[in-house]
Amino acid sequence: MDLDLQGRLDRLTERRPRLRFLVSVHRRFSELHGTQMAAAVTLTAFLTLFPLVLVAIAVIGFVTASGNDVPQRIVENLGLTGKAADTVTDAIAVAERSRRTASIVGIAGLLWTGLGFGATLAYAYNTAWQVKGRGLKDKAVTLGWLAGLGVLVGASFAVTAGIEWLGTIAAPLLVVAGVALNTALFLWTSWILPNRKVGIRPLLGAAVAGGVVLEILKVVGTLVVPRFVANSSALYGTIGVVFAVLVWLLFLGRLVVYVAVAEVVQWEGRRGTQETVIELPALPGSEPVASTRAGDREES
């Protein structure tokens, strides 16, 4: 950043603590290469969608087997036309014939990719807090996280169905419930996945902010993504749906990393920092020192 611009920004944030906090979070995000971490979260989340789609297809297969007009409603709700609509209709027809196999393969794949997604989230949080992972123990921790995630998602569907049953007058309650469940999701993720224990209270502020922004993303996604899917599917076919989903997941990935960084910046503002020494490779022109790492320098 240009020094003059940096100076003006520092003077601007001097008397505005909240603005200073936001600037500090963005700086730390850049220092930790947050864009690359967000891309990793996006990719693993996208890969998780494939077995999730298999599970959804299996469920749809069981539902449509009873004779309900589900395919047409799905196409209409997604705003699909042309080849994309035909692809979805054909996929649902196949689901009716292979619903049992799809459920088994989908659940197994969802478990596998879910572990990878959890590991990526843990890496993002551990990097923000600058701590090491737990090794193989992380697999067991991620399984526990997935179990809790399933409970929260189930609670989300139950609460949403209950509020929608009350009618349009309860629409504000739907938003409040969404923010609360999003916040619980961020808290659960931040509490169990990273290799550090700081309690729930220091994580609450960033989790609430993340819950609000995620709800905004969900609302915007509900309004914009179907239209974007409809337009892009008409132009590019099925691949247009992929583009629309990737764009939304990219915003989600950045949000996750920003929440992790915000936790750290807030913690440092209250508790301070500590100094540590790290070892780096001795490049040509530098003065090497004795290494303390395991499997040290080879004897020449």
- Per-residue tens of pLDDT for the chain, all 300 residues: 454 555 565 666 666 777 788 888 988 999 999 999 999 999 888 888 776 666 665 555 555 555 556 666 666 665 666 666 676 666 666 655 555 555 666 567 667 778 888 899 999 999 999 998 888 899 899 989 988 888 888 787 777 766 666 666 666 777 888 899 999 999 999 999 999 988 899 999 999 999 999 988 888 877 776 666 666 655 555 666 677 778 888 999 999 999 999 999 999 988 888 887 777 788 888 778 776 665 555 444
The Cα–Cα gap between 52 and 110 comes to 6
pLDDT at 33: 93
Are 87 and 236 in contact by the 8 Å Cβ rule? The answer is: no
- Token pair, residue 194, equals 């990273």
pLDDT at 106: 59
pLDDT at 14: 66
**Count of other CB atoms within 10 angstroms of residue 219:** 12
Are 164 and 233 in contact by the 8 Å Cβ rule? The answer is: no
pLDDT at 300: 42
Three-state helix/strand/coil letters over the chain:
CCHHHHHHHHHHHHCCHHHHHHHHHHHHHHHCCHHHHHHHHHHHHHHHHHHHHHHHHHHHHHHHCCCCCHHHHHHHHHCCCHHHHHHHHHHHHHHHHCHHHHHHHHHHHHHHHHHHHHHHHHHHHHHHHCCCCCCCHHHHHHHHHHHHHHHHHHHHHHHHHHHHHCCHHHHHHHHHHHHHHHHHHHHHHHHHCCCCCCCCHHHHHHHHHHHHHHHHHHHHHHHHHHHHHHHHHHHHCHHHHHHHHHHHHHHHHHHHHHHHHHHHHHHHHHHCCCCCCCCCCCCCCCCCCCCCCCCCCCCC
pLDDT at 128: 94
pLDDT at 93: 66
pLDDT at 203: 93
